[in-house]
Structure 1
Amino acid sequence: MKTKTTFNWDLLGISSATICFVHCLIFPILTIIPIGITHNPLIDLLFASIGFFAIIKIVKKATLLVNSILIVSITLIFLSIVIEILLDVHTYLIFIGGIGMIIGHYLNYKNHKIKH
Protein backbone atom coordinates (compact mmCIF):
# COMPACT_ATOMS: atom_id res chain seq x y z
CA MET A 1 0.00 0.00 0.00
CA LYS A 2 1.38 3.36 -1.02
CA THR A 3 1.01 6.32 1.32
CA LYS A 4 0.60 9.75 -0.10
CA THR A 5 2.06 12.66 1.83
CA THR A 6 0.85 16.17 1.29
CA PHE A 7 2.82 19.29 1.96
CA ASN A 8 1.54 21.10 5.01
CA TRP A 9 1.25 24.78 4.11
CA ASP A 10 0.46 25.67 7.71
CA LEU A 11 3.87 24.47 8.88
CA LEU A 12 5.52 26.59 6.18
CA GLY A 13 3.42 29.58 7.22
CA ILE A 14 4.09 29.10 10.94
CA SER A 15 7.81 28.68 10.31
CA SER A 16 8.04 31.69 8.02
CA ALA A 17 6.01 33.92 10.34
CA THR A 18 8.01 32.83 13.40
CA ILE A 19 11.37 33.40 11.70
CA CYS A 20 10.15 36.79 10.45
CA PHE A 21 8.88 37.71 13.91
CA VAL A 22 12.18 36.76 15.54
CA HIS A 23 14.04 38.67 12.81
CA CYS A 24 11.92 41.76 13.47
CA LEU A 25 12.50 41.54 17.23
CA ILE A 26 16.25 40.84 17.18
CA PHE A 27 17.35 42.95 14.22
CA PRO A 28 16.85 46.36 15.89
CA ILE A 29 19.17 45.21 18.67
CA LEU A 30 21.83 44.20 16.13
CA THR A 31 21.74 47.63 14.47
CA ILE A 32 22.74 49.26 17.76
CA ILE A 33 25.98 47.27 17.86
CA PRO A 34 28.54 49.01 15.57
CA ILE A 35 29.27 46.05 13.27
CA GLY A 36 27.99 47.61 10.06
CA ILE A 37 24.67 45.78 9.71
CA THR A 38 21.91 47.79 8.06
CA HIS A 39 18.26 46.87 7.75
CA ASN A 40 16.97 45.82 4.37
CA PRO A 41 13.17 45.73 3.97
CA LEU A 42 13.59 43.26 1.12
CA ILE A 43 14.26 40.56 3.72
CA ASP A 44 10.88 41.35 5.25
CA LEU A 45 9.37 41.20 1.78
CA LEU A 46 10.89 37.74 1.26
CA PHE A 47 9.31 36.42 4.47
CA ALA A 48 5.97 38.04 3.59
CA SER A 49 6.03 36.50 0.11
CA ILE A 50 6.57 33.02 1.56
CA GLY A 51 3.70 33.62 3.97
CA PHE A 52 1.50 34.97 1.16
CA PHE A 53 2.14 31.87 -0.94
CA ALA A 54 1.15 29.66 1.99
CA ILE A 55 -1.99 31.74 2.55
CA ILE A 56 -3.07 31.36 -1.08
CA LYS A 57 -2.93 27.58 -0.68
CA ILE A 58 -4.77 27.61 2.66
CA VAL A 59 -7.56 30.15 2.01
CA LYS A 60 -9.35 27.82 -0.40
CA LYS A 61 -10.06 25.24 2.31
CA ALA A 62 -9.98 27.10 5.63
CA THR A 63 -12.79 28.42 7.81
CA LEU A 64 -13.98 32.01 7.66
CA LEU A 65 -12.25 32.88 10.95
CA VAL A 66 -8.89 31.53 9.80
CA ASN A 67 -9.25 33.22 6.40
CA SER A 68 -10.04 36.54 8.04
CA ILE A 69 -7.10 36.33 10.44
CA LEU A 70 -4.64 35.37 7.69
CA ILE A 71 -5.82 37.95 5.16
CA VAL A 72 -5.84 40.82 7.67
CA SER A 73 -2.42 39.75 8.99
CA ILE A 74 -0.72 39.53 5.59
CA THR A 75 -2.29 42.88 4.63
CA LEU A 76 -0.82 44.49 7.75
CA ILE A 77 2.58 42.98 7.01
CA PHE A 78 2.63 44.14 3.38
CA LEU A 79 1.34 47.58 4.41
CA SER A 80 4.14 47.88 6.96
CA ILE A 81 6.76 46.86 4.38
CA VAL A 82 5.43 49.34 1.80
CA ILE A 83 5.47 52.14 4.38
CA GLU A 84 9.02 51.18 5.32
CA ILE A 85 10.22 51.11 1.70
CA LEU A 86 8.49 54.33 0.59
CA LEU A 87 8.65 56.48 3.73
CA ASP A 88 11.50 54.84 5.66
CA VAL A 89 9.24 54.68 8.72
CA HIS A 90 9.15 51.57 10.89
CA THR A 91 5.67 50.70 12.15
CA TYR A 92 4.40 48.11 14.60
CA LEU A 93 1.99 46.73 12.00
CA ILE A 94 4.51 44.07 11.05
CA PHE A 95 4.55 42.72 14.62
CA ILE A 96 0.75 42.59 14.81
CA GLY A 97 0.60 40.94 11.40
CA GLY A 98 3.30 38.42 12.33
CA ILE A 99 1.50 37.39 15.49
CA GLY A 100 -1.75 37.13 13.51
CA MET A 101 -0.06 34.94 10.91
CA ILE A 102 1.25 32.57 13.56
CA ILE A 103 -2.16 32.38 15.24
CA GLY A 104 -4.04 31.93 11.94
CA HIS A 105 -1.76 29.16 10.68
CA TYR A 106 -1.83 27.45 14.06
CA LEU A 107 -5.64 27.51 14.21
CA ASN A 108 -5.86 26.13 10.69
CA TYR A 109 -3.31 23.44 11.52
CA LYS A 110 -5.29 22.40 14.61
CA ASN A 111 -8.59 22.39 12.64
CA HIS A 112 -7.01 20.32 9.87
CA LYS A 113 -5.55 17.87 12.37
CA ILE A 114 -8.94 17.40 14.07
CA LYS A 115 -10.67 16.67 10.75
CA HIS A 116 -8.14 14.02 9.74
Structure 2
Amino acid sequence: MITERPGSTYGVALSDAEQHLLQGLCSSSGEPETVWFTRFWAAKEAFSKAEGTGLGGRPKDFAVEAAWPGGLLVRTARRLRRVQLDRLSAGSPAKDYVVAWTLQTLQTLQTLQTLQKEEL
Protein backbone atom coordinates (compact mmCIF):
# COMPACT_ATOMS: atom_id res chain seq x y z
CA MET A 1 0.00 0.00 0.00
CA ILE A 2 1.23 3.50 -0.78
CA THR A 3 1.61 5.23 2.55
CA GLU A 4 3.93 7.51 4.50
CA ARG A 5 6.85 5.71 6.14
CA PRO A 6 9.34 6.83 8.77
CA GLY A 7 12.45 8.44 7.30
CA SER A 8 14.61 5.68 8.79
CA THR A 9 12.88 3.15 6.50
CA TYR A 10 14.60 4.63 3.46
CA GLY A 11 18.06 4.15 4.96
CA VAL A 12 17.34 0.52 5.84
CA ALA A 13 15.72 -0.39 2.52
CA LEU A 14 17.70 1.63 -0.04
CA SER A 15 21.38 2.15 -0.80
CA ASP A 16 22.72 5.68 -1.28
CA ALA A 17 22.59 5.18 -5.06
CA GLU A 18 18.95 4.03 -4.86
CA GLN A 19 18.02 7.02 -2.68
CA HIS A 20 19.64 9.31 -5.27
CA LEU A 21 17.71 7.57 -8.09
CA LEU A 22 14.49 7.86 -6.06
CA GLN A 23 14.97 11.61 -5.58
CA GLY A 24 15.67 12.09 -9.29
CA LEU A 25 12.56 10.16 -10.24
CA CYS A 26 10.42 12.21 -7.86
CA SER A 27 11.80 15.43 -9.37
CA SER A 28 11.42 14.36 -13.00
CA SER A 29 8.00 12.71 -12.67
CA GLY A 30 6.38 15.03 -10.14
CA GLU A 31 5.12 11.97 -8.26
CA PRO A 32 5.55 11.84 -4.48
CA GLU A 33 8.34 9.97 -2.75
CA THR A 34 5.79 7.61 -1.16
CA VAL A 35 4.77 6.34 -4.61
CA TRP A 36 8.33 5.80 -5.82
CA PHE A 37 9.47 4.18 -2.59
CA THR A 38 6.54 1.76 -2.75
CA ARG A 39 7.48 0.90 -6.34
CA PHE A 40 11.09 0.21 -5.29
CA TRP A 41 9.94 -1.94 -2.36
CA ALA A 42 7.38 -3.88 -4.42
CA ALA A 43 10.03 -4.54 -7.10
CA LYS A 44 12.49 -5.84 -4.50
CA GLU A 45 9.77 -8.09 -3.05
CA ALA A 46 8.77 -9.43 -6.49
CA PHE A 47 12.40 -10.16 -7.43
CA SER A 48 13.18 -11.88 -4.13
CA LYS A 49 10.06 -14.03 -4.33
CA ALA A 50 10.87 -14.99 -7.94
CA GLU A 51 14.27 -16.12 -6.67
CA GLY A 52 12.53 -18.18 -3.97
CA THR A 53 14.43 -16.45 -1.17
CA GLY A 54 12.37 -13.52 0.00
CA LEU A 55 14.19 -10.41 1.16
CA GLY A 56 15.66 -12.21 4.17
CA GLY A 57 16.12 -8.95 6.04
CA ARG A 58 18.53 -7.75 3.32
CA PRO A 59 16.56 -5.40 1.03
CA LYS A 60 19.75 -3.63 -0.11
CA ASP A 61 20.90 -6.90 -1.73
CA PHE A 62 18.20 -6.22 -4.35
CA ALA A 63 19.37 -3.00 -5.99
CA VAL A 64 17.12 -0.88 -8.18
CA GLU A 65 19.36 0.38 -10.99
CA ALA A 66 17.04 1.98 -13.54
CA ALA A 67 13.43 3.03 -13.99
CA TRP A 68 11.02 3.77 -16.84
CA PRO A 69 7.24 4.15 -16.98
CA GLY A 70 5.80 0.96 -15.56
CA GLY A 71 9.01 -0.81 -14.66
CA LEU A 72 12.29 -1.05 -12.82
CA LEU A 73 15.55 -2.89 -13.40
CA VAL A 74 16.73 -4.73 -10.27
CA ARG A 75 20.06 -6.49 -9.72
CA THR A 76 21.54 -8.86 -7.18
CA ALA A 77 25.09 -10.18 -7.10
CA ARG A 78 23.98 -13.07 -9.35
CA ARG A 79 21.10 -11.87 -11.49
CA LEU A 80 19.42 -8.95 -13.24
CA ARG A 81 15.64 -8.81 -13.61
CA ARG A 82 13.11 -6.52 -15.20
CA VAL A 83 10.18 -5.88 -12.87
CA GLN A 84 6.89 -4.53 -14.22
CA LEU A 85 4.75 -2.34 -11.98
CA ASP A 86 1.20 -1.06 -11.91
CA ARG A 87 -0.58 1.30 -9.56
CA LEU A 88 -4.18 0.66 -8.61
CA SER A 89 -6.85 1.78 -6.20
CA ALA A 90 -9.12 -0.59 -4.31
CA GLY A 91 -11.40 -0.76 -1.33
CA SER A 92 -13.77 1.62 0.32
CA PRO A 93 -12.51 4.13 1.09
CA ALA A 94 -10.13 3.68 -1.83
CA LYS A 95 -6.48 3.04 -1.03
CA ASP A 96 -3.62 3.14 -3.53
CA TYR A 97 -1.40 0.11 -4.11
CA VAL A 98 1.54 -0.91 -6.26
CA VAL A 99 1.67 -4.41 -7.72
CA ALA A 100 4.87 -5.85 -9.18
CA TRP A 101 5.86 -8.93 -11.16
CA THR A 102 9.08 -10.13 -12.74
CA LEU A 103 9.66 -10.89 -16.41
CA GLN A 104 11.68 -13.56 -18.17
CA THR A 105 15.42 -13.18 -18.70
CA LEU A 106 15.09 -12.43 -22.44
CA GLN A 107 12.76 -9.52 -21.73
CA THR A 108 15.24 -8.24 -19.14
CA LEU A 109 18.09 -8.36 -21.66
CA GLN A 110 16.00 -6.53 -24.24
CA THR A 111 15.18 -3.83 -21.68
CA LEU A 112 18.84 -3.46 -20.72
CA GLN A 113 19.84 -3.10 -24.37
CA THR A 114 17.18 -0.44 -24.93
CA LEU A 115 18.31 1.53 -21.86
CA GLN A 116 21.93 1.36 -23.00
CA LYS A 117 21.00 2.68 -26.46
CA GLU A 118 19.13 5.59 -24.87
CA GLU A 119 22.24 6.54 -22.89
CA LEU A 120 24.33 6.86 -26.07
TM beyond 0.5: no
TM-score range, shorter chain: under 0.3
Name the one with the larger strand percent.
2
